[in-house]
Structure 1
Amino acid sequence: MSNDAYSTEPDRLTFHGYGGLDLAGDSWGPQDGPLVVFLHGGGQNRHSWKDSGLALAKAGLHAVLLDARGHGDSAWAPDGDYRREAMVGDLMGVLEQLGRPAILVGASMGGLTSLIATTHPRHDLITGLVLVDVVPRTERAGVQRVLDFLSSSPEGFASLEEAADVVAAYLPHRRRPRNPEGLQRNLRRRSDGRWYWHWDPAMMSGKGEDIDLHTAALEDAARKLTIPVLLVRGALSDVVSEEGVAAFRALVPQAEYAEINSAAHTAASDANDEFTDVVVDFVRAHVQVK
């Protein structure tokens, strides 16, 4: 790890997850700073948190950004195992390899993994939890829209511009970027010359799962939370409703809550500065920063 806590480039990490699967990560900030581990949503990767990682490093925190199995630079599960149990196993393996407790920041899929992980026998490695636009009782239509997007375009795209059009239709609340080059973090060009989403299609079939089937387990995990908790919701979200927030806060009355007015389900990237400020304030309130 670099001695420069303000480096604009992270250190690359490799972990061994559930079943020995290789997982990629980035490390930002001082090694001895309070540890914050970020877990992205389905179809995303660790680069979704880049600006947050740099901001936390500047605040004296040590941020680790993970690529989930089947995403980014992490290995694809050879047996197609993307069950919640496998992802929790990945996370707990990473925490054990990091060797000290961490506050978890999880968006969507990463939030569900983080919440279930608090019931793991080694839950002592989790000292705080930030859930980003995810609760046990989500809105069916919003979840289905996310799943439909992740399952779309199996034939790939002829150009980055074509892919950008699909993303713009999926995220109508965002201004379409003039330059689609940033999408290369989420796409790979294959030998046929076409661009394909860089996540394992098996995530959407086989041993994947529908989060709706696990509401009871998620609510049970929420009910047992005793660590500091922050729920962040995008006010424009169609996945987490005000009713879903109220139900969660009834289960976790000690939870703190923040709503980002200009954000939707992809809250962290929709309004990154506001989101990062909320996370930094939460971590500073619950750990001692040098």
Structure 2
Amino acid sequence: MEVRHFAGAGGVRLVADVAGPPDGPAVILIHGGGQTRHSWGETVDALAQDGFLAVNLDMRGHGESGWAPDADYTAGVLADDIRAIAAELARPVALVGASMGGRAALLAAGEDPAVDCSGLILVDVTPRMSDDGRQQVVDFMRGGLDGFATLEDAAAAVSRYLPHRPPVKDTRGLAKNLRRGEDGRWRWHWDPALVDPARLRRFDDDPTRYETAAANVTAPLLLVRGGSSELVEPEHARAFLAVAPRAEYVEVGRARHMVAGDRNRDFSDAVRGFLRRALVS
């Protein structure tokens, strides 16, 4: 695995881990808001072992990637970042997008100028989602803006937010998603402007925009829903499948919104199976 830099929209520096054979079918993984490229668990390694070239991205404003100078993290700008990476790869790309990353991937694949998309996987994201569930995510993100005195305090905050998961015992993995400031406090590795109340309203795009994009996608399409998702309820999945009737649909049991983190093996199996059918067969 190597670290590679890409130039995103407006020249924002984007960082990604790249794994797998250089000539393999390309797959770009785009994490959710408030996460980093480390959120996919073992999925990236599994894709590389299957012969895919996996490009595991830190979105702008997250992880090691640059922050947007204008603090614009709307889905259209993120979609332009995906287009820039796809252009640099100069080949068809499959997109795997979770939550906020999934909305961006949907626009990149379904709006002009559309990327040359060989497959699209949306991970627990649909045009219409639960407002209460989205607010839970925002509240958790805002709750850590002042930082944590220790990694153990950060782990305790995660456990309160995700009580269905076993408590974090080894904080070394968690540390990849935080940065330590000059004041010694640990803060999540993303731009606080992501949850600025004035700017957050810009994310409330009309869901018909995403439904139109979904209807325009001609590549093989898969929706992966967490079986216990607090954001994508069964009626939201049904509404999506009504506008994208050719899409495949998988539920990962006992997983909430962060499907890859909750049930990584089941999630990876679903993704790998779909990509083998879409890109290899």
Q: Give TM-score scaled by structure 2 length.
A: 0.96
Q: Which moved more, 1:200-209 or 1:257-266?
A: 200-209
Secondary structure of the structure 2 residue equivalent to 1:213: coil
Report how many aligned residue pairs link the two structures. 280
Note the 1:57-76 alignment, pairs <5 A: 57-76=48-67
Is residue 86–residue 115 contact of structure 2 (8 Å, CA) maintained in 1?
no
Give RMSD over aligned pairs: 1.4
Secondary structure of the structure 1 residue equivalent to 2:61: coil
Q: In the alignment, which residue of structure 1 is the partner of 2:127?
A: 136
Cα distance in 1 for partners of 2:225, 2:23 equals: 30
Q: Which moved more, 1:116-125 or 1:265-274?
A: 116-125
Note the 1:15-94 alignment, pairs <5 A: 15-94=6-85
Is residue 141–residue 239 contact of structure 1 (8 Å, CA) maintained in 2?
yes
Cα distance in 2 for partners of 1:177, 1:258 equals: 28
Shift >6 Å, 4+ stretches: none
Letter in 2 for 1:149: F
Cα distance in 1 for partners of 2:255, 2:111 equals: 31
Cα distance in 1 for partners of 2:11, 2:47 equals: 29
Secondary structure of the structure 1 residue equivalent to 2:42: helix
Whether 2:144 is the aligned partner of 1:150: answer no
Q: Identity of aligned pairs, percent?
A: 46
Q: In the alignment, which residue of structure 2 is the partner of 1:7?
A: none
The Cα of 1:50 is off from its aligned counterpart by 4.6
Whether 2:105 is the aligned partner of 1:105: answer no
Note the 1:162-173 alignment, pairs <5 A: 162-173=153-164
The Cα of 1:209 is off from its aligned counterpart by 4.5
Q: In the alignment, which residue of structure 2 is the partner of 1:180?
A: 171
Q: Which runs of 5+ in 2 are unaligned?
A: none
For residues 138 and 211 of structure 1, do their structure 2 counterparts lie closer, same or farther at Cα, with a shift above 3 Å needed? farther
Cα distance in 2 for partners of 1:71, 1:243 equals: 31
The Cα of 1:193 is off from its aligned counterpart by 1.2
Is residue 228–residue 286 contact of structure 1 (8 Å, CA) maintained in 2?
yes
Letter in 1 for 2:260: A
Letter in 1 for 2:276: R
Secondary structure of the structure 2 residue equivalent to 1:287: helix
CA-to-aligned-CA distance 1:174-205 (integer Å, 9 cap, x gap): 11121222211111111111111110001122
Q: In the alignment, which residue of structure 1 is the partner of 2:241?
A: 249
Letter in 2 for 1:242: P
Give the alignment partner of residue 229 of structure 1, picking from 221, 235, 242. Answer: 221
Q: Which moved more, 1:121-130 or 1:64-73?
A: 121-130
Whether 2:281 is the aligned partner of 1:282: answer no
Q: Which runs of 5+ in 1 are unaligned?
A: 1-9
Cα distance in 2 for partners of 1:187, 1:48 equals: 12
Note the 1:262-281 alignment, pairs <5 A: 262-281=254-273
Cα distance in 1 for partners of 2:90, 2:41 equals: 23
Is residue 82–residue 209 contact of structure 1 (8 Å, CA) maintained in 2?
no
Q: Give TM-score scaled by structure 1 length.
A: 0.93
Is residue 8–residue 14 contact of structure 2 (8 Å, CA) maintained in 1?
yes
Is residue 83–residue 209 contact of structure 1 (8 Å, CA) maintained in 2?
no
